[in-house]
Amino acid sequence: MQANETTQTEKRRTRRYPAVELCAYVLRRKAMLISLWDEVQVIDYSHLGMAFEADSELLDKKSLTLSIELKMEVGDIKVDRVNGRIRHTRNLGGLYRYAVEFEKGQDPNLMPQLVRLESLLTRSQNLADRIQKQSQA
C-alpha cells in the first residue's frame, strides 16, 4: 500500500502503536459477587481506543467494559475499568476482530492513565526501532 493510500483509508484520529506487551480483558458478565472476564489479544492501542481479537463473538454488545494491563520489567500498570463502544467488527474465520473507541466522560483520572499507557508503548516502540536500525548498520 502506498503512503498516500494509507492516509486516505485511515479513519482514526491518532496513530495507534503495536501493543506487544499489553494485555486486555473484556467483562463478559457481572454477577452479584463475581465478575467474569475473557482475555483478548490486543492488536493496537491509542488513548482513544484499541483493536483486539477474541475467540468468541460479542453478541448483542454495542458497548463493553475492558480492563487493560501493561506488563513491564519494572512493574505493571493497570487500568481496572474503561468503557468503550464497538465501532467495527470483522469475522476472521475462527476469530473476531473488534475496534473499540473509549467512551468520553468517564472518571477524570482515567484519561491521564490511558495517555500514559500510550506514551510508554510509544517509547518502547521507538527503542525497538533504534535497536533494529543499529543492528542493521
pLDDT given for residue 9 in this prediction: 65
The domain defined by 12-136 folds into: Thrombin, subunit H (2.40.10)
* Residue pLDDT, tens place only, 38-62: 999 999 999 999 999 999 888 767 8
pLDDT given for residue 1 in this prediction: 40
pLDDT given for residue 64 in this prediction: 93
How big is the chain, counted in residues?
Answer: 137
For 1-137, where are the E strands, in sequence order? 17-18, 22-30, 35-46, 49-54, 63-70, 77-91, 96-102
pLDDT given for residue 134 in this prediction: 82
Sorted by where each begins, the domain ranges of the chain are: 12-136
* Residue pLDDT, tens place only, 58-111: 876 789 999 999 988 778 889 999 999 999 999 998 899 999 999 988 898 999
26 to 19, 41, 53, 129: CA distances (angstroms): 16, 10, 11, 30
Backbone angles phi, psi at 65, to 5 degrees: -115, 135
Q: What is the pLDDT of the chain when averaged over all its residues?
A: 84
| Res. 21: pLDDT tops 70 | yes
Judged by DSSP in three states, 122 sits in: helix
Mean pLDDT of 4-11: 54
| Res. 19: pLDDT tops 80 | no
